[in-house]
Each structure stands twice: as structure tokens, then as C-alpha cells.
Chains A and B, each alone.
Chain A
């Protein structure tokens, strides 16, 4: 007998979340569906697997703790992204700021990435992430959601609570900064 793969239906999942008897099963579906996408978002923000793993765990633990407060007013992914972004910003703010010169930072991030066993990109990828790391945190989040995840501005606006106009401006500035950075490296 072949196992039928369960279809993920957001409406059904939200309805099951309201029933304490079905809540854990529904949450299990949510973890399966969203953990990978959210992991990659966090990973691009913090760059190392260990940090991304810690933040992802905190994200889903907080999501479970607050599951009764999720009433389906937004999409599940939007709600999870909000938690993940809060957790990531908290992590980045608590991280010791590196008071070293820009050249040192530029060199060190690409080198660190290329020496990481869980980095299998090319040098150009390492340089791109190095350039992204020079952006302010919230601009990095916007850039990631738009450039890598190709989310619509409307969705990013819902996640971040920022106007679409401000998001477009921020993304445009981020792209220019990254392009200038990479041009200077060539």
C-alpha cells in the first residue's frame, strides 16, 4: 500500500490549529512546509549554519508557544517570517559588533564563507554575500526577501509592516550599494 502524501491546505491547517486535539498535527505540517524556506532566509542573514539552526529553533518554539494567538488573520508564512525576522534581529543586535576596518571585514567574510564546510558556492557568491553583509540589517532583510525569495512587495509589506513605496526605495538603494561594492572589488 502506498502512502498518500497529505496535501497542504492553509485553510484546513488554520482550522485544525483552533482545535486543541488537532493542534500538534497541524503544527507538524507547518514545520514541514515552512522550515526550509525560513531556514534559508535566516541563513543568508547570519551566514553560519549553527547560528541559523539556533534561530530557526527559537522561531518554531515561539511559534508553538504563541499558536493560540494566531487566528489566521495573516498567512502562516507571513506570521512565521515575522517571528523569524524578530529572532534574527535580536540575534544580530546581541552579537558583538566587530570594530574593525571595512577592508578587513570585506576580506574576512568572503574568506570565512569559503572556508565553511557548509558553503558550496563560488567565489562570486561569497563576494555577493560579503557585499550584502555591508547593508544595514533591515535593508538586508528587504533585499533577501525581494532578490533571493522573489516575494512581491505587497507580501514584504505585510511581513515588515512597511509601506510599499519605502520598500521599493530601500531595495533600490540596496541594489545600488551592492553593485558599487562589487564594482569596486573588480
Chain B
């Protein structure tokens, strides 16, 4: 059996009378009562998905492990030359500031239907 041969072009379903006209009217009633959400810049969301940013994230994670690991080792090896405070908090702060993910970004991401699928 070849299903291409079964194509009739007819829709075997139906809808209540004037359904699409009523649907249009109801949707427009909703439109008149509500305002659309404000525009969200997509650049933050899209930039996160670029390969370059993925590498930056990976590098940041590796760096954080190194710093964290070094700091941990220095606490269990008091004679070590590497002191925990050798890496100042500025490094971590700088990294966090490089990847700002605030509430507004999340809002835009969650309300952005264009990229949901």
C-alpha cells in the first residue's frame, strides 16, 4: 500500500458553524483587553548559545575548579606555598560580572516563544 495514493485533499474533520469567525471575534476581544508584553532583547539569550560563549563557560568552570581546588589544598596542607588568598576575590567577581544572568534575562528567555522549540 502506498499512502501517497490515498491522498484526497479533503479534510475529514469539521467544526461548529461560524467557528473561525467566532474564534477571530473572541481573540480580538482578548486583544482589546490586554497589552502585549514589552520587547525583550534576545542578544543575551542567543549569545549564550554561541560556540564561543560555550568555550568561555567551560574555561570559567575549569578556572573555578582550579582556584577552588588550590584553595582547598592549601587549607589541608598548611606548609604549602600556595595560599588560599593568593587568588583574590576580584578574579571571581570579574568572572561573575562577565556572565550577567539577571531576572530580566530569565523573563525574556521564558517569554520568548520564538526560540522555544
Contact = CB atoms under 8 A, between A and B. Distances in A.
Interface string B27-58: 11011101011111010000000000000000
Contact of A82 (B12, B15, B28, B114): B114
Nearest to A70: B114
Interface string B1-27: 111001100111111100110011011
Given A79-B114, A161-B117, A179 B12 contact: no
Contacts of A183: 1
Name the 5 nearest CB pairs between A and B, nearest first: A121-B12, A125-B12, A68-B39, A67-B36, A83-B113
Given A66-B113, A82-B117, A120 B23 contact: no
Interface of A: 23-24, 27-28, 31-32, 35-36, 39-40, 43-44, 49, 53, 56-57, 60-70, 73-74, 79, 82-83, 85-86, 118-122, 124-126, 128-129, 147, 159-161, 175, 178-179, 182-183, 186
Contacts of A23: 36
Given A35-B23, A35-B24, A49 B31 contact: no
B77 interface: no
B111 interface: yes
B112 interface: yes
Nearest to B12: A121
B3 A63 contact: no
Given A49-B13, A68-B37, A82 B113 contact: yes
B116 interface: yes
Between B23, B27, B32, B116, the greatest number of chain A beta carbons within 10 A of the residue's beta carbon is seen for B27
A3 to B, nearest CB: 15
Given A24-B31, A69-B39, A147-B3, A86 B113 contact: yes
A121 B10 CA distance: 8
Given A23-B36, A65-B37, A39 B6 contact: no
B31 A118 contact: no
Contacts of B30: 61, 64
Contacts of A120: 12-14
A178 to B, nearest CB: 6
B113 A69 contact: yes
Contacts of B34: 64-65
Contacts of A186: 1
Contact of A160 (B12, B108, B117): B117
B75 to A, nearest CB: 47
Between B14, B15, B117, the greatest number of chain A beta carbons within 10 A of the residue's beta carbon is seen for B117
Contacts of B26: 57
A24 B28 contact: yes
